[in-house]
Chain A
């Protein structure tokens, strides 16, 4: 498959989210607690833009990703330093 994300094999019409038995097919409950945005999101996430799924939404994804990596990588370095210091024998 390589690094380029392949758009899913099924065309949107065959994806489970859009099979005939959608919850939004129900008549009277259409507007109960919001409307169905899943088809729009399906289009967005299946855009052939080469982005991996964790960055597919653009800016908010990038911010969250960079924050997480900064915390984990920075934290790991801090951790190794702290463990090194903690393993030094204490002077009497």
Chain B
């Protein structure tokens, strides 16, 4: 039987890339049908197939790495590059929304009353729930680092405790933000203030949910003994993503919540 004479991973043929592309087609066309023709079947189909593809693709990666041993140091290096590049692209995504915010808020037009916040907008008090949310995310950054150290020190019980705490803090943030959204005196339709506020914080909230999901999967894998003290890249990737989410919040808080009030 032939064995490879290199340390790279030649993957098995997989149906997930093309199914993922199809799922993206269904989701985007589904959005169009929902917006313009009040029909949500295509969108539901798209989101469902997207979830199925993600579950199976990532499941396969766990199988390839943890169970089949394909994630050599060379392969891991590539995975690290990949995650860094992905997070960088997300940073640029948010940069666009910050640009939009500063474009409108640094030179407020006469239609806004020549001021920021615009005439008639009552912004949220940055020293109330937003400040609590800042503390929550900063604390979760500490607990995820604690979890990492526990993993490298082979302390299973503490790693599980720390990661669970991190995820709970993430849920707490999401719950508080949802409440803030509900109670806010302004909506997304309230001019450019509403647009910039809800689109920027909304996408951030979505990333908190994604990050919490990623960490939850890591918790499950941690409990199932998938990680070793010197090979746990899935966890590291989740921790990087979580820190990124935290940093984006800090920028949101300083610019939109604090300076913008």
Binding site for B on A (CB under 8 A): 1, 3, 5-10, 12, 14-17, 19, 21-26, 29, 32-34, 36-38, 41-42, 44-46, 48, 52-54, 56, 64-65, 67-69, 71-73, 75-76, 78-79, 82-83, 86
Contacts and interface: CB of A to CB of B under 8 A. Distances in A.
Contacts of B104: none
Interface in B1-17: 1-4, 10-16
Interface of B: 1-4, 10-16, 19, 22-23, 25-26, 29-30, 32-33, 36-37, 41-42, 45-46, 48-49, 52-53, 56, 60, 63-64, 66-71, 154-157, 160, 223-231
Contacts of A36: 224-225
Contacts of B225: 22-24, 36-38
B106 to A, nearest CB: 41
Contacts of A73: 22
A6 B30 CA distance: 40
A60 to B, nearest CB: 11
A23 B68 contact: no
A19 B52 contact: no
B42 A75 contact: yes
